[in-house]
Amino acid sequence: MALLSSWQIALLWLSWVILSLAAGADYYKILDVARTASEQDIKKAYKKLSRKFHPDKNKSPGAEERFVDIATAYEVLSDPKQKLVYDQFGEEGLKKSAQGQQHHANPFDMFSQFFGGGMREDQVRRGPTMMTEFEISLADAYTGNSIDFMLKKKVLCDHCRGSGAASDGDVKPCGGCNGSGVKYVRHQIMPGMFAQSQMTCDECQGRGKIIARPCPHCGGAKVLDHTAHYTLEVEPGIPEGHEVVFEGEADESPDWEAGDVVLKVRMKKEQGGWRRKEGSLYWRETIGVQEALLGFERNLTHLDGHVVTLRKDGVTQPGFVQQVKGEGMPLFERHKEHGDLFIEYTVVLPTSLSDHTKRALQDVFREGGHKAKTEL
């Protein structure tokens, strides 16, 4: 039997890897991330999808199964050793590396550890929503576009995970309230008579715990400033004032579940040129006296670069508006349909006339007037 060359061996190994990946679950696809995704991207994807498909919140068929798949994918891709095996040999490789046995964490326990609690609406405290306006060009609103932008926000310190302490051992019960978060104070009402009142512990601010040694990364603040990168998917025909929601992307805090980021889309105010009113587009075209009197044919370059031919026979009055069917804005969520384009014509008169031009015009008007009298 002939020995295989090194490149044939490599080809066989690559084929086996591809078949293995095809046969098993695609964890990257489950989390909707690229194979080059960073640890932060994987964590963010799990955070978003696990909330979306948690059975306590999502009652649609298949939500619980999807929730379990998301937890399994995150468990593998967030573990460097498992991720390395999976990237090389797929799900089958993971099973073989574990000698045929995979021990997955309970997806609900994983969720609770990640978020610090369940998804019951009466238990979850939501953080504030971040509202901001985002300006796009009319051309982007016409064609659609993917626009990258950055947003400054607070994120949990990745060193202490929001505890504010240098280590778990540095979080200790408050000595002032014995961990209860409240203090009881006695007040003398009159000689021999006292009243007892309850107040929030001023040493731990009611948390019941104090930090012996603050986290060196956040200084005990629990959160850090972070500039996050996002992509706004602009759909063709997006209306003025349309709101795009990025769920759970607002400021993070150990005291609440992050709220949403809401972008309100606005059109940039552009001087001259194109104007929009809902599904209609407006354009002001300037023509000369000769074109206004004798007719014309012009080419107008549209917002996406295609050419619209403007044609008018005979006399065009100043301020005349021409309607061009189907050349307006795409109708939002009905991309194959368009509104209309309205062209308003402005006639530019010359600032002065030569003697020759004056005589020629006088002859034309004199001849026109004579002809009109003859017809009468």
- The whole-angstrom separation of Cα 59 and Cα 82 is 31
- The whole-angstrom separation of Cα 134 and Cα 141 is 12
Which of 6-15, 125-134, 244-253, 299-308 comes out lowest in average pLDDT? 6-15
Kindly state the helix (H) or strand (E) to which residue 151 belongs, with its residue range.
strand 145-156
Q: What is the CA radius of gyration of the chain?
A: 35
pLDDT digits (tens, 9 = 90+) for 21-48: 445 678 888 888 888 888 878 888 888 8
- Calculate the average pLDDT of the chain: 78
Written as six digits, the tokens of 8 are: 């044939």
Domains in the chain: boundaries? 25-94, 274-365
Asked whether the predicted pLDDT for residue 175 surpasses 70, the reply is: yes
Q: Residue 295: beta bridge partners?
A: 313
Highest mean pLDDT among 12-21, 97-106, 178-187, 235-244: 235-244
CATH of domain 25-94: 1.10.287.110
List the end-to-end C-alpha distance of the chain, in Å, as a whole number: 111
Asked whether the predicted pLDDT for residue 120 surpasses 50, the reply is: no
pLDDT digits (tens, 9 = 90+) for 341-367: 999 988 888 777 777 777 777 776 666
- Cβ atoms of residues 276 and 141 within 8 Å: yes
Residue type, 19: L
Kindly state the helix (H) or strand (E) to which residue 93 belongs, with its residue range.
helix 80-97
- Overall average pLDDT of the 275-290 stretch: 87
Asked whether the predicted pLDDT for residue 260 surpasses 90, the reply is: no
From the CB of residue 153, how many other CB atoms can be counted at a distance below 10 Å? 17
Written as six digits, the tokens of 249 are: 């992307």
Residue with the bigger pLDDT between 180 and 108: it is: 180
Residue type, 315: V
- The whole-angstrom separation of Cα 359 and Cα 39 is 82
∠ CA 252-223-129, nearest 5°, is 25
Place of tokens 């990258």: 148
Q: Specify the CATH superfamily of domain 274-365.
A: Urease metallochaperone UreE, N-terminal domain (2.60.260.20)
Confidence grade of residue 118 (pLDDT, cut at 50, 70, 90): very low
pTM of the model: 0.55
User: DSSP secondary-structure letter at 170?
Assistant: G
pLDDT > 90 in the chain, percent: 4
Asked whether the predicted pLDDT for residue 268 surpasses 60, the reply is: yes
Residue type, 171: V
